[in-house]
Structure 1
């Protein structure tokens, strides 16, 4: 059995093993968790299942645990279609932004999907022309977007 007379070498070894894990950014810091994955569909349900379901759950009820993921089911904030569109483009709290990952058509599709599923029955829909005016705000916040 090896006995250490001083804890410093063990602490240095521990720091060397842990430091790479600490340098990895959290997934909520950006939408880079889907980097390299092309979202090739304009189907709002498919986009939801690919990008949103992991946090907001399959039933849209959200989750509470290590973090709080708001429910989309019955969420009164969805009454104004501009709100979820803005959040998808710009992110909010721990939610990443998707302005650089989704087209205006795709943002409109996923917003319309969320607003018409999970017990939500908002009849008015948004289209790409409704999303486009919100995109400059997202690009001003994230200047690295082409």
Structure 2
């Protein structure tokens, strides 16, 4: 049930997005259990940028979406992993639609790009330990 709700949220967010992604980007087949995107930037652009904005600057409007760029919170890889997996407040849980490598990739992208340069790389094993 959570998996279906998360997919519905993604489809709704992407339908309203102006960054070029479409609900088709999240189309799942009966054999695919995770998002089709790979690589941190691709996953971020397809999933996260609709709320956190392409440059990670965050947004306010229908809700408050915190900036990820220049945000000391993302220094803690374990905290970012936990929020990606389990969601937080209005952010839906993504652990059911991303495998450990996808979560690690997007966590690394948020922590090392978007104007951030926090140390350390997150691995799929790190994600599995938090999961």
27, 36, 42: which one pairs with 1:40? 36
Q: Which residue of 2 aligns with 1:64?
A: 60
Give runs of aligned pairs for residues 40-119 of structure 1, distance below 5 A.
Answer: 40-119=36-115
Instruction: Give unpaired runs (5+ residues) of structure 2.
Output: 12-25, 29-34
Q: Aligned partners of 1:83 and 1:37: how far apart in 2?
A: 28
Higher Cα Rg: structure 1 or 2?
Answer: 1
123, 128, 131: which one pairs with 1:132? 128
TM-score (normalised: structure 1): 0.69
Q: Which residue of 1 aligns with 2:6?
A: 31
Q: Aligned partners of 1:114 and 1:45: how far apart in 2?
A: 8
Count of residues in Structure 1 that have an aligned counterpart in Structure 2:
107
| SS of equivalent residue, structure 2 residue 50 | helix
Deviation at residue 123 of structure 1 after TM alignment: 2.6
Q: Aligned partners of 1:100 and 1:37: how far apart in 2?
A: 14
Deviation at residue 122 of structure 1 after TM alignment: 1.1
Deviation at residue 117 of structure 1 after TM alignment: 1.1
Deviation at residue 133 of structure 1 after TM alignment: 1.6
Q: Aligned partners of 1:63 and 1:41: how far apart in 2?
A: 24
Instruction: Give unpaired runs (5+ residues) of structure 1.
Output: 1-29, 136-146
User: RMSD of the TM alignment (CA)?
Assistant: 1.7
Q: Aligned partners of 2:42 and 2:121: how far apart in 1?
A: 18
Deviation at residue 66 of structure 1 after TM alignment: 1.6
